[in-house]
Amino acid sequence: RLLFSSASSSTLTHGEDAPPAQSDGVVDVNPPRGTRDFPPEDMRLRTWLFDQFREVSRLMAFEEVDFPVLESEALFIRKAGEEITQQLYNFEDKGGRRVVLRPEITPSLARLVIKQGKSVSLPLKWFTIGQCWRYERMTRGRRREHYQWNMDIFGVPKVRAEAELLQAIVLFFERIGITSTDVGIRVSSRKVLQAVLNMYSVPEHLFAAVCVIVDKLGKLSRDEIERELISTGLSSEAVQGIIEVLSLKSLSKLEEVLGPQDGAVADLKKLFSFAEQYGYADWICFDASVVRGLAYYTGIVFEGFDREGQLRAICGGGRYDRLLSTFGSEDIPACGFGFGDAVIVELLKEKGLLPDMSRQIDDIVFPLDEALEGPASNIASSLRKKGRAVDLVEDKRLKWVFKHAERINASRLILVGSSEWERGMVRVKILSTREEFEVKAGELE
């Protein structure tokens, strides 16, 4: 009796022991809208990707941390009009608490730093890989969840932190075969925008909202951006001044506009000189239009992009020196980035850089008849205790076993047959060379 359907709707028989029925008595086996399952092959790719994230975090001497996916809604209530806070996957739990499936991880990191308080010594370098959520009307059919690698440094006020984070990103790209001809990292500072707003005496409280609007440059039309800026209360002179400065792509031009004493200019010059020393200068470029869309950035911001311009931002981050005070705590200078699991896979596919994701097993152990299932268990167990990955197969025809061995790329096939077993032996087949020989069962390595 078929109890499930992967089709979105079909009427099938269902019995008394059926799972809780949906409308037509059938459980939809697809995952909830906007979410993904990870069957083995997809999970192998994800595990490979996360292993690269972890290895770079280790090389950079970051410590792993983790948080609940469920957070208090209060952590994400911000008034700057960000897309991320307008698409909160939020609800009220059975205790009447307002909670969310987190849309990002930085606020959780900040919460833990505050909670740890004096018991942690600065600087802190923490990383995590976690699922993030948004509730977007499926009109655009975009996903509602993704996994994000987050690397954050707390307690380093100077651009050393940004330089370290950029090295982490470049190390990651290089590890997976992406080069600086495939990808670049646009770098700027929100202090550029701050300087322009000061020139036009735009009140400080509009800063975050202006950043969120300006981040849409390239996604919305220039007219749309100007309209949104005007409606925020900016004068048309201020709007023109913003658009003019943010179109700069040369640091020396920026210095001409803002002067050599300007904080943004000094930070960026320092960062670009560090880049030469780290050896990743050809990966980064100054682009004043980079502001990133999160309200809390206060300084250097950056985003990885594919130079062919076909994909959305690959990763992004920046400095957020005043996030902790929005949670009522003393501020600690901080800087971090998020790196999603989706765009990078699209890029790897495009560049033909997806790694081989086929299975690999050391040994298949196969009893040639039922009476030998006991000895086969003993052999599989002792091999596993020696660190061999063993697939114990039974109730199959030998022909199937050979096919299976090929399918899962087994190195050896260990056949437990009665004539050999009577002499305390088993037959070993090396699948790469077709070599075949007998071995004392107790001496199998």
- Rounded CA-CA distance 371/208 in Å is 74
Q: Which of these, 419, 416, 418, 422, lies nearest to 444 by C-alpha position?
A: 416
What residues contact residue 1 under an 8 Å CB cut-off, 6+ apart?
13, 14, 15
191 near ligand 4HU (CB under 6 A): no
103 near ligand 4HU (CB under 6 A): yes
Instruction: Return the number of the residue (136 or 182) whose C-beta is nearest ligand 4HU.
Output: 136
Contact 328, 322 (CB under 8 A): no
Instruction: Return the number of the residue (315 or 379) whose C-beta is nearest ligand 4HU.
Output: 315
The distance of closest approach from Cβ of residue 335 to ligand 4HU in the complex, given in angstroms and rounded to an integer, is: 19
78 near ligand 4HU (CB under 6 A): no
Considering only residues 26, 75, 127, 145, which one is a binding residue for ligand 4HU as defined by CB under 6 A? 145
Instruction: Return the number of the residue (133 or 173) whose C-beta is nearest ligand 4HU.
Output: 133
Instruction: Return the number of the residue (150 or 194) whose C-beta is nearest ligand 4HU.
Output: 150
146 near ligand 4HU (CB under 6 A): yes
Instruction: Return the number of the residue (132 or 248) whose C-beta is nearest ligand 4HU.
Output: 132
Question: What x-and-dash track marks residues 342-361 binding ligand 4HU by CB under 6 A?
Answer: --------------------
Instruction: Return the number of the residue (131 or 382) whose C-beta is nearest ligand 4HU.
Output: 131
Instruction: Return the number of the residue (101 or 410) whose C-beta is nearest ligand 4HU.
Output: 101
The distance of closest approach from Cβ of residue 137 to ligand 4HU in the complex, given in angstroms and rounded to an integer, is: 13
Q: For the chain, state the CA radius of gyration.
A: 28
Q: Locate 168 and state its tokens.
A: 């982490």
Contact region for ligand 4HU (CB under 6 A) — 138-146, 149-157, 278-286, 323-331? 138-146
CA distances from 86 to 38, 59, 83, 291 (A): 28, 36, 5, 19
- Rounded CA-CA distance 62/432 in Å is 41
* Edge-to-edge strand ranges of the sheet holding 425-430: 390-392, 361-367, 410-416, 425-430, 436-440
Contact 323, 334 (CB under 8 A): yes
Q: Locate 125 and state its tokens.
A: 């370098």
133 near ligand 4HU (CB under 6 A): yes
Q: Which of these, 360, 370, 371, 381, lies nearest to 441 by C-alpha position?
A: 381
Binders of ligand 4HU in range 26-45 (CB under 6 A) = none
Contact 341, 322 (CB under 8 A): no
Residue carrying structure tokens 């701050």: 194
- Rounded CA-CA distance 411/430 in Å is 6
Considering only residues 57, 109, 134, 154, which one is a binding residue for ligand 4HU as defined by CB under 6 A? 134
The distance of closest approach from Cβ of residue 172 to ligand 4HU in the complex, given in angstroms and rounded to an integer, is: 18
Residues in contact with ligand 4HU by CB under 6 A are: 84, 103, 132-134, 143-146
